[in-house]
A = this chain, B = another copy of it.
């Protein structure tokens, strides 16, 4: 029997807390390959005059980010990042994208060699070509292999234990088996695909398509048009993967996993990006105003991803090949009238 593996979840937002809860559920109940204690790093903040880490450890509930869900007692929060992650064999990254750079800086040199990284973070990092996969950002910084878990996984619903599926993008079959053992239950099915890049780009780019779907909803164009916009969005995701990662397999099987069609559908028919874009059309307010008012100050990932993507497409002279991505950015940020949205779709390369 191998030495039990230590698990650390880096981040205690709603999704990180849910993953911590699930991992602790498995580790605490018979999965002997894992230490029964699962560690979680929480950014220390005060809630009603108390430290969040203390509240979680004493009351076994994350009243700030996942209220109403009791957490296993073997999920233990550490407010110190290095203490939380010390000796971890599996590091699950669940912080908002803007913080991952600093997290990596602080962890650098303190990560156990051969540790398995799993990123739950959506979005892009920055690299010499403009965009960089976050798995590469984390992996290169910490010197570990990093897989990606993404799918139609709204945190509140996963916490409630309703059936859903997720996709693990992972190039290392041993790592895949370990992560699957840690997280899969009869209500949370994890499928494994090797095209880490496609899985990850699906997770980032769906936000941009969901903004387009929200524009459709705001324009009250009906179900046919919205289905066409979502479909063209999927085609642009696939097209982008082929350009961004020429080493991705030519077959499109990955897009049929939860990370692809399922997460895209869920995001385009619910989700905050869709809602933001719909409100943009209906209210006439700016994205910044809506983020403040509508989203209660919570950052929505889509607009930022749309901008980074647009910058990349411009620099590569690819704007015309991605009319939906381009429409979203030009309408949300460059003052193009939303009534032009359909004319972008009509210029889709598939329609030429």
Chain A interface residues (CB < 8 Å from chain B):
152-154, 157-158, 160, 162-165, 186, 189, 191, 221-228, 230-231, 234-235, 238, 251-253, 256-258, 261-263, 265-266, 269-271, 342, 345-346, 350-351
Contacting residues, chain B, for A154 (C-beta < 8 A): 222-224
Contacting residues, chain B, for A252 (C-beta < 8 A): 251-253, 256
Decide if A157 touches B256 in the complex (CB within 8 Å).
Answer: no
* A186-B344 Cα distance, complex, nearest whole Å: 12
Once A252-B252, A346-B186, A350-B191 are accepted as A-B contacts, the answer to whether A227 and B258 lie under 8 Å apart by CB is yes
Decide if B262 touches A162 in the complex (CB within 8 Å).
Answer: no
Within 8 Å by CB of A231, from B153, B234, B256, B351, lies: B256
Decide if A224 touches B162 in the complex (CB within 8 Å).
Answer: yes
Closest 9 CB pairs of A and B: A164-B224, A152-B227, A231-B262, A227-B262, A227-B266, A157-B222, A157-B224, A165-B228, A163-B342
Decide if B262 touches A152 in the complex (CB within 8 Å).
Answer: no
Contacting residues, chain B, for A186 (C-beta < 8 A): 346
Give the secondary structure class of A's interface: helix
* A270-B265 Cα distance, complex, nearest whole Å: 13
How many monomers of this chain does the complex have?
2
Decide if B228 touches A164 in the complex (CB within 8 Å).
Answer: yes
5 contacts between A and B (CB under 8 A): A152-B227, A153-B224, A157-B223, A163-B346, A231-B256
Contacting residues, chain B, for A256 (C-beta < 8 A): 231, 234-235, 238, 252
Within 8 Å by CB of A351, from B153, B189, B261, lies: B189
Decide if B351 touches A152 in the complex (CB within 8 Å).
Answer: no
* A234-B163 Cα distance, complex, nearest whole Å: 17
Closest chain B CB from A155 CB (angstroms) = 10
Decide if A222 touches B265 in the complex (CB within 8 Å).
Answer: no
Once A186-B346, A265-B265, A350-B191 are accepted as A-B contacts, the answer to whether A225 and B164 lie under 8 Å apart by CB is yes
* A222-B155 Cα distance, complex, nearest whole Å: 11
Once A152-B228, A227-B265, A350-B191 are accepted as A-B contacts, the answer to whether A222 and B258 lie under 8 Å apart by CB is no
Closest chain B CB from A85 CB (angstroms) = 29
* A261-B227 Cα distance, complex, nearest whole Å: 8
- Which residue of chain B has the shortest Cβ distance to A222 in the bound complex? B157
Decide if A152 touches B223 in the complex (CB within 8 Å).
Answer: yes
Closest chain B CB from A189 CB (angstroms) = 5
Decide if B162 touches A221 in the complex (CB within 8 Å).
Answer: yes
Closest chain B CB from A135 CB (angstroms) = 23
- Which residue of chain B has the shortest Cβ distance to A165 in the bound complex? B228
* A235-B262 Cα distance, complex, nearest whole Å: 11
Decide if A269 touches B269 in the complex (CB within 8 Å).
Answer: yes
Once A222-B154, A223-B157, A256-B234 are accepted as A-B contacts, the answer to whether A228 and B261 lie under 8 Å apart by CB is no
Decide if A266 touches B224 in the complex (CB within 8 Å).
Answer: yes
Within 8 Å by CB of A270, from B223, B266, B270, lies: B223
Contacting residues, chain B, for A164 (C-beta < 8 A): 224-225, 227-228
Decide if B224 touches A158 in the complex (CB within 8 Å).
Answer: yes
Decide if A258 touches B228 in the complex (CB within 8 Å).
Answer: yes
Closest chain B CB from A134 CB (angstroms) = 22
Decide if A269 touches B152 in the complex (CB within 8 Å).
Answer: no
- Which residue of chain B has the shortest Cβ distance to A164 in the bound complex? B224
